[in-house]
Chain A
């Protein structure tokens, strides 16, 4: 319907204003203050409690290094947020890759938004390496050497059987490979895209399809194995064959919500004028569909464990449902509600998907809901009864979120906001459903 004359200019340069930089700095400082406050309270409160226990139980002091340290909660939060934002970042690359492979036209106009997300990968990658070196022994049960020693009373035949996969050198190699492969391939696609802006032609488009497809092949394997490494291995005994899919579903829909949120926000700030209601409608459909997909995978995993009723599997849900004094029961339902029922009901109608404010509400629901998804998976295994939701959690989210926004905003300034020489741009500008 739209004629060529009604299409706004594609020349747009995003400006990362000093005002937004100031706000983000304040956000990061507030986060640091909150984390400091939380750490202070944790060190005071729980530290003294353990001191009394240690004095009483002289015989148990041999197990001293199993005792809970208040810093564990701090590092568990770094790990949790790193995993969450790694997923958000890598989904940008995932989106680019499958859109190239499908030769999708409609999404070309806001392609710079998913393209900006993976720049955050080195930050989370390095933080995860640091966390593993500093606190790996407290967070990952399988790092304890005596579990694999047949003569030790701690010997655990089940965990010993997983030694081929769960050992420190191989874990570190995998961690580095994931980030190197994801980030490296993104850099390639990003450079192609920026050069295409200047030189035009279809050469870079063809190359992007090739390397994007290579990424999909690699990601097909690494998305599953990284989910086992980053999240599932914390519950060392437990395993689920659905877990790779489950984490990918969670990461993917989080990334989609962030892409949509950024597109809508840019539009509200007066950028991306060429994005019309049909683009928003399709983004809304994406979020709607993948929220249902997440719920489907979540339920498939839960259902089989619930019905088979095997103790070594049900312990996972038992721990989250009634274990640790019941502190993980509320997040369990918040997670389910925010990730499925809320977006399902909010995004169901056509008008909702075409209304920016409704889309934004649904995006925030999904983004917050999936934080609780990872919270629910990681925290009971990492800190158990010492967990909770206090200043440390809020502060850490604030720090990571502000840093992530900073990284995305910086990337958005590095090129024209609309890929002006993308071969599919014309189709995207006329997108009409």
Chain B
């Protein structure tokens, strides 16, 4: 999820010790009517994306479109240069002989897909040279599981949400302002 830097952003951060606890906590917190901003974990937790209600990723569609772009670019290039602009006979074959151009079409399909996916990754994760990522708790890269809740996007008060977090099994509840 891309997170834009916002001066008024105020988050409540629940720190959990165990992946099973945080997975159960997600359901409890949501049932209590709290909107969860995001959960951070040192490793992928099976079923977490479903519990959080994330929509299905559209990265496959993006990959297909990047690949298609690369493929069509090379179709256009080979058709224009060898078929139209400057036809040449190489090795006794027709100027436009499709099998000879399949490797370059294949390679550009792969290249465009790979580069496009790197770009998609950087944009969708809010990473880049000038972007300052939101770091809720450094320990989420180590051994803690972190649940972030955007107070501006919740109707419940700070204390109410803190109680929900604690009863769901959070070891600590911190306030984080950016």
Q: Is B128 an interface residue (CB 8 A)?
A: no
Chain B nearest CB from A214 CB (Å) reads: 36
What string of 1s and 0s marks CB contacts (under 8 Å) between A309-332 and chain B?
100000000000000000000000
Within 8 A of B (CB), among A395-433: 432
Assuming A309-B92, A349-B60, is B103 touching A303 (CB within 8 A)? yes
Q: Is B129 an interface residue (CB 8 A)?
A: no
Q: Is B135 an interface residue (CB 8 A)?
A: no
User: Which residues on B sit within 8 Å (CB–CB) of A303?
Assistant: 99, 102-103
User: Which residues on A sit within 8 Å (CB–CB) of B93?
Assistant: 309
User: Which residues on B sit within 8 Å (CB–CB) of A299?
Assistant: 102
Q: Is B100 an interface residue (CB 8 A)?
A: yes
Assuming A307-B91, A309-B91, is B50 touching A1 (CB within 8 A)? yes
User: Which residues on A sit within 8 Å (CB–CB) of B47?
Assistant: 1, 432
Closest to A306 in B: B99
User: Which residues on B sit within 8 Å (CB–CB) of A349?
Assistant: 60
What string of 1s and 0s marks CB contacts (under 8 Å) between A148-162 and chain B?
000000000000000
User: Which residues on B sit within 8 Å (CB–CB) of A432?
Assistant: 46-47
**Interface band, chain B:** 10 to 19
What string of 1s and 0s marks CB contacts (under 8 Å) between B83-116 and chain A?
0000000011100000110110000000000000
**Which secondary structure characterizes the binding site on chain B?**
helix
Q: Is A5 an interface residue (CB 8 A)?
A: no
Chain A nearest CB from B45 CB (Å) reads: 10
Chain A nearest CB from B77 CB (Å) reads: 19
Closest to A300 in B: B103
Bound CA–CA A309/B103 (angstroms): 17
Chain B nearest CB from A341 CB (Å) reads: 13
Closest to B97 in A: A306
Q: Is A302 an interface residue (CB 8 A)?
A: yes
Contact B99 A302, beta carbon cutoff 8 Å: yes
Bound CA–CA A348/B60 (angstroms): 9
Chain B nearest CB from A240 CB (Å) reads: 16
Bound CA–CA A1/B23 (angstroms): 10
Within 8 A of A (CB), among B58-81: 60, 64
Closest to A430 in B: B46
Closest to B50 in A: A1
In the assembled complex, 21 residue pairs joining A and B whose CB atoms fall closer than 8 Å, in A order, are A1-B46, A1-B47, A1-B50, A299-B102, A302-B99, A303-B99, A303-B102, A303-B103, A306-B99, A306-B100, A307-B91, A307-B99, A307-B100, A309-B91, A309-B92, A309-B93, A348-B64, A349-B60, A350-B60, A432-B46, A432-B47
B-binding residues in A (CB < 8 A): 1, 299, 302-303, 306-307, 309, 348-350, 432
A-binding residues in B (CB < 8 A): 46-47, 50, 60, 64, 91-93, 99-100, 102-103
